[in-house]
Structure 1
Amino acid sequence: MAAIAWLVIPVASAVAAAIWAGWATRTKKTGDVAELAGYARFREAMERSHSRSGAA
């Protein structure tokens, strides 16, 4: 039984390392969509504030 335990420990560690490596190198799907949309809203707001301040 002790020999099986010594065999299971490295095998389980290798499986855990493979799962972690797959998770760590996954493709992230969030992208920059939210950041770009926020920047576009910021630019629009700045353009509106500058056009109003120029008229005053």
Structure 2
Amino acid sequence: MGALVWLLIPLLAAIGAGLWGSWANRTRKARRDGPELDGYARFRAAMEKPGPARDPDAALTMR
């Protein structure tokens, strides 16, 4: 009887793994990209804007 109990452990683990695998691969609804990508788009737009012209020697003469 004890041997049957020990054989049930891997069987239950395999069933649990199969259930978890099917749950993990389920089809999800498509969601909006989210606010983090909106922030990234704003960052890219800001980086593409031309900034003020800088004089490389101006940093050396600042007091």
TM-score (norm 2): 0.49
Q: Percent identity?
A: 13
Number of residue equivalences: 50
Structure with the bigger percentage of helix: 1
What CA distance in whole angstroms lies between the structure 1 residues aligned with 2:47 and 2:19?
48
Over 6 Å off, 4+ runs: none
> Can you list the C-alpha shifts for 1:4-49, whole angstroms capped at 9, x where unaligned?
0121121222112111221233237xx886xx33222111111123
The structure with the larger Rg is 2
User: Which 5+ residue runs of structure 1 have no aligned equivalent?
Assistant: none
Choose from 42, 45, 48 the match for 2:43: 45
**Structure 1 residue identity aligned to 2:45:** E
